[in-house]
Amino acid sequence: MKHTIAVIVENKPGVLTRISGLFSRRGFNIDSLSVGATDNPDYSRMTITVNCDEETLEQVIKQLSKLINVIRVSQLEPKESVERELAIIKVSANRENRPEIMQLVSIFRAKIIDVSPRSVIIEVTGDEEKVDAIERLLRQFGIKELARTGKVSMVRGTKVVQP
Amino acid sequence: MAKMTGAQAILESLKREGVDVIFGLPGGVLLPLYDAIYSSEVRHILVRHEQAAAHAADGYARATGKVGVCLATSGPGATNLVTGIANAYMDSVPMVAMTGQVNTNLIGRDAFQEADITGITLPITKHNYLVRKASELPRVFREAFHIARTGRPGPVLIDLPRDVTVEELEYSYPELHLPGYNPSTKVHQLQIKRAAEALMSAERPVIYAGGGVRYANAHQELFELALKLNAPVTTTLMGVGVFPEDHPLSLGMLGMHGTKYANYSIQGADLILAVGARFDDRVTGKIASFAPRAKIIHIDVDPAEIGKNVRVDIPVVGDARNALAELNKFVTQKPWSAWNERVSTWKCDYPLCYQKDESVIKPQLVVEKLCEVCPDAIIVTEVGQNQMWAAQFFTHKDPSRFISSGGLGTMGYGFPAAIGAKVGRPDCQVIDVAGDGSFQMNIQELATAVINDIPVKVAVLNNGVLGMVRQWQTLFFGERYSHTTLGQVPDFVKVAEAYGALGLRATKPSEVEDVIREGLASDKPTVMDFIVAKDEKVSPMVPAGASLSEILELES
């Protein structure tokens, strides 16, 4: 079962190592991890997805909370949160198939951010399934390169995960 | 605000934290700090190997309840501390380990004697710091000591680059600001009430107390609760002494080498109250069949311990002393019950015992005699058979007088830890119950004890073998004694004398008591070499992975 947790951490050197080290030492598996600054420069926010049972998830949350540089750990329920991932995908393209690619891009409300005679780079944002879907459909044209950000997530409504 | 160097700021911070002794060994990058120590009031004890500095700081901390402090240079000095830090981490011992580091501009360039010690100790410290500017020092030291001693205690490492110790700063000791560190000490009242109700309605309760009771200074509250409930109390190795073992409700230690009656009581219980203990595999045996009929109440200051190894019915997060004091308000006197009778019968039927012998010294006899001659001694142990016999055959009555490497099981721990304990409590007799294997792992510290006039006593249960491993070879590997025979080398009496300590030897049971009396009477560090039976086994024993019900009596 996949779970998403938001972790507010102090923006200090070595904090990412502490978190990833904790996961490897305790045998927890990270599915994806994304990290970036928050509105407060003292803190960063990580979104971590883990694939584990409920008991392991409880341990993940408790063990993370014990780290001195971790300010807050919250589990995000998929039904109550919005989740986004961004991918940029370089696809082989030529005069013949470019219209078809552009059509796909339009259906997925993705964007073409770079064009060359033999390739295009597509930017797509959405939940994991959407990114998976466009990746699948683009495969027929030949994916040359792909970079995904990992998920970021936020609770719907007025509830917040803050330090 | 006063202007001073980083080195002076370190010593000023140690002073403010009440540190009166440092165990350490200098090195190149520590020269400025050691130069400041030269003209400081703090007592510095020079060890012969950095591992001993960490163990001594650990022993000091366990004996006094204060934070132990050790110091080692960069690179090999720092890596030599690692075992001692891991040991303190596993047993939740408050410690601050300081390490030298190369100049900040050389970090990451594989400089001479550079080791990434904060990286290395990441999984074995409660927290660690690499100080990059002298101005950070007061804050880092303030935080480090606070983190080490509060909540679930543990070791904190501070890595000190050479230039940081030379740089000047305006010194002021800051207020704590640790937004990510709020150890919970207060307990949840509703959970306390639920726990109290469960305890009152239980028919066959057992209290299982660990090292947390000791660190929280909760032994009196535990005693009161046990007596009110008439609940038998068993302790883990880390908890030995938190409940007086001569009390009718005491079950002694549980687990792999626990008493039969403690293990039977656990297996027969309908309610287990775990306090400051973590359901270690050496305690629970096969986890699926641990206490099969019992509900479990678990009190722990570390929320991550609750539910880690076993399912818990009533979790109580908080300081053991607060929790037990609260529980005492809600429970009333329960009568001596049929359960108490049953437990007492088990105690009568399955006492701890060994085959006495007139010609060969049995190791258990040595421990019994130590207890007879000096019941108030602080007993420190090495690891292996000696450790188990010291736990089993000494009647422990005081919560701070048994010091042993529980979680990590570090051979070589006992002797330097005993030195630390003696430094912390010079008025107590401190005895390291050792094996000849373990003692040789840090035997060089005889120099530290002699030169600093720290009269610790070492009782070597000298069987010439790595006894615990050999015991397993006897039982599970068809008596194929692969590399467990040490032979009675060296001559420990001569070694002791070479270092300037007193060396004594007993080869016959009749000599044991005299050697102990003479050894303890001496004002010198003393090695008492007891030549003991080679094939003696620690009994009873729950084989690894077996249920606590499958406890075996072993013949020697």
Establish if A163 belongs to a structural domain.
no
Q: Which of A76, A110, A140 is the last residue of a domain?
A: A76
Checking if the pLDDT of B230 tops 80, the result is yes
- Count of domains forming chain A: 2
| Same domain (yes/no): A6, A69 | yes
| Same domain (yes/no): A56, A88 | no
Q: At what angle do helices B320-330 and B189-201 cross, to 10 degrees?
A: 60
- The answer, for A18 touching chain B at a CB cutoff of 8 Å, is yes
Chain B positions contacting chain A at CB under 8 Å are: 118-119, 122-123, 126-127, 130, 147, 178-181, 302-304, 307-308
**What b/e string do you get for B5-24 counting C-beta neighbours within 10 Å, with b at 16 or more?**
bbbbbbbbbbeebebebbbb
Predicted pLDDT at B184: 82
Mean per-residue pLDDT for B260-281? 97
Establish if A69 belongs to a structural domain.
yes
| Same domain (yes/no): B388, B433 | yes
In A, minimum Cα distance to B180 occurs at A71
| Same domain (yes/no): A90, A69 | no
Contact yes or no for A59 and B180 at CB 8 A: no
Mean per-residue pLDDT for B476-489? 96
Establish if A108 belongs to a structural domain.
yes
Establish if B538 belongs to a structural domain.
no
Task: State residue B123 phi and psi, 5-degree precision.
Answer: -80, 0
- B308 CB neighbours in chain A (<8 A) are 59
- How many C-beta atoms surround the C-beta of residue B482 within 10 A? 9
| Same domain (yes/no): B469, B518 | yes
Q: What is the CATH number of the domain that holds B37?
A: 3.40.50.970
**Do B13 and B172 meet the contact criterion of CB atoms below 8 Å apart?**
no
Quote the percentage of chain B above a pLDDT of 70.
100
CA distance A23 to B427: 46
**Do B407 and B281 meet the contact criterion of CB atoms below 8 Å apart?**
no
CA distance B292 to chain A (A): 20
Task: State residue A9 phi and psi, 5-degree precision.
Answer: -125, 160
Predicted pLDDT at B213: 98
pLDDT, one tens digit per residue, over A40-66 is 999 999 999 999 999 999 999 999 999
**Do B49 and B79 meet the contact criterion of CB atoms below 8 Å apart?**
no
Checking if the pLDDT of A131 tops 80, the result is yes
What is the ipTM score, two decimals? 0.89
CA distance B554 to B556: 6
Establish if B181 belongs to a structural domain.
no
Predicted pLDDT at A163: 82
Closest by Cβ to B180, choosing from A59, A63, A67: A67
Mean per-residue pLDDT for B95-108? 98
Establish if A102 belongs to a structural domain.
yes
| Same domain (yes/no): B311, B206 | yes
Mean per-residue pLDDT for B356-361? 95
Establish if B555 belongs to a structural domain.
no
| Same domain (yes/no): B340, B478 | no
Q: How confident is the model at residue B444 (pLDDT cuts 50, 70, 90)?
A: very high
Establish if A96 belongs to a structural domain.
yes
Establish if B437 belongs to a structural domain.
yes
For B99, the domain range is 2-171
Predicted pLDDT at B15: 97
* Optimal mutation site among B104, B117, B127, interface A, most CBs of chain A within 10 A: B127
CA distance B217 to chain A (A): 23
Closest by Cβ to B127, choosing from A65, A68, A71: A68
Q: How confident is the model at residue A162 (pLDDT cuts 50, 70, 90)?
A: confident
- B119 CB neighbours in chain A (<8 A) are 17
pLDDT, one tens digit per residue, over B191-213 is 999 999 999 999 999 999 999 99
Beta bridge pairs of residue B250:
B233
CA distance B108 to chain A (A): 14
Mean per-residue pLDDT for A113-137? 96
Checking if the pLDDT of B146 tops 90, the result is yes
Mean per-residue pLDDT for B212-220? 97
Q: How confident is the model at residue B185 (pLDDT cuts 50, 70, 90)?
A: confident
For A69, the domain range is 2-76
Establish if A17 belongs to a structural domain.
yes
Q: Which residue has the tokens 């002076």?
A: B8
| Same domain (yes/no): B165, B257 | no
CA distance B431 to B446: 14
* Optimal mutation site among A66, A72, A73, interface B, most CBs of chain B within 10 A: A66
CA distance A124 to B539: 67
Mean per-residue pLDDT for B52-59? 98
Q: Which residue has the tokens 């998929």?
A: A78
Establish if B371 belongs to a structural domain.
yes
Predicted pLDDT at B555: 82
- Count of domains forming chain B: 3
| Same domain (yes/no): B317, B457 | no
| Same domain (yes/no): A11, A52 | yes
| Same domain (yes/no): B430, B462 | yes
* Optimal mutation site among B104, B107, B117, B122, interface A, most CBs of chain A within 10 A: B122
Does residue A22 come out as left (phi exceeding 0), alpha (psi in the -120 to 50 range) or beta? alpha
Mean pLDDT of chain A: 94
| Same domain (yes/no): B508, B377 | yes
Mean pLDDT of chain B: 97
Distances (CA, A) of B430 to A54, B58, B397, B462: 47, 15, 15, 19
| Same domain (yes/no): A70, A87 | no
**Do A130 and A151 meet the contact criterion of CB atoms below 8 Å apart?**
no
Mean per-residue pLDDT for A34-44? 94
Quote the percentage of chain A above a pLDDT of 70.
100
Establish if B547 belongs to a structural domain.
no
Mean per-residue pLDDT for A106-130? 96
Does residue B241 come out as left (phi exceeding 0), alpha (psi in the -120 to 50 range) or beta? left
Q: Which of A76, A104, A130 is the last residue of a domain?
A: A76
Instruction: Give the three-class secondary structure for B142.
Output: helix
Q: What share of chain A is helix, strand, coil (3-state, %, to 5)?
A: 30, 40, 25
Mean per-residue pLDDT for B356-371? 97
| Same domain (yes/no): B37, B143 | yes
- Tell me how many residue pairs between chain A and chain B have CB atoms under 8 A apart: 36
DSSP annotation string for B13-41: HHHHTT--EEEEE--GGGHHHHHHHHTSS
Q: What is the CATH number of the domain that holds B343?
A: 3.40.50.1220
Tokens for B388, please give them. Answer: 């188990």
Q: How confident is the model at residue B186 (pLDDT cuts 50, 70, 90)?
A: confident
- How many C-beta atoms surround the C-beta of residue B421 within 10 A? 31
Predicted pLDDT at A161: 86
| Same domain (yes/no): A109, A59 | no
Contact yes or no for B308 and A59 at CB 8 A: yes
Q: How confident is the model at residue B167 (pLDDT cuts 50, 70, 90)?
A: very high
CA distance B482 to B480: 6
CA distance B49 to chain A (A): 29
| Same domain (yes/no): A32, A89 | no
| Same domain (yes/no): B339, B455 | no
Contact yes or no for B179 and A71 at CB 8 A: yes
Establish if B536 belongs to a structural domain.
no
Contact yes or no for A163 and B119 at CB 8 A: no
Checking if the pLDDT of B556 tops 80, the result is no
Establish if A161 belongs to a structural domain.
no
Q: What is the CATH number of the domain that holds A146?
A: 3.30.70.1150
- The answer, for A59 touching chain B at a CB cutoff of 8 Å, is yes
Tokens for A157, please give them. Answer: 């409504």
- B303 CB neighbours in chain A (<8 A) are 62, 65
DSSP annotation string for A26-55: HTPPEEEEEEEE-SSTTEEEEEEEEE--HH
A78 vs B116, higher pLDDT: B116
Task: State residue B391 phi and psi, 5-degree precision.
Answer: -75, -40
Contact yes or no for A63 and B304 at CB 8 A: yes
- A21 CB neighbours in chain B (<8 A) are 122-123
Q: Which of A27, A53, A76 is the last residue of a domain?
A: A76
**Do B319 and B216 meet the contact criterion of CB atoms below 8 Å apart?**
yes
Predicted pLDDT at B4: 97
**Do B503 and B497 meet the contact criterion of CB atoms below 8 Å apart?**
yes
Predicted pLDDT at B68: 98
Q: How confident is the model at residue B61 (pLDDT cuts 50, 70, 90)?
A: very high
In A, minimum Cα distance to B152 occurs at A66
| Same domain (yes/no): B374, B520 | yes
Checking if the pLDDT of B1 tops 80, the result is no
| Same domain (yes/no): A63, A94 | no
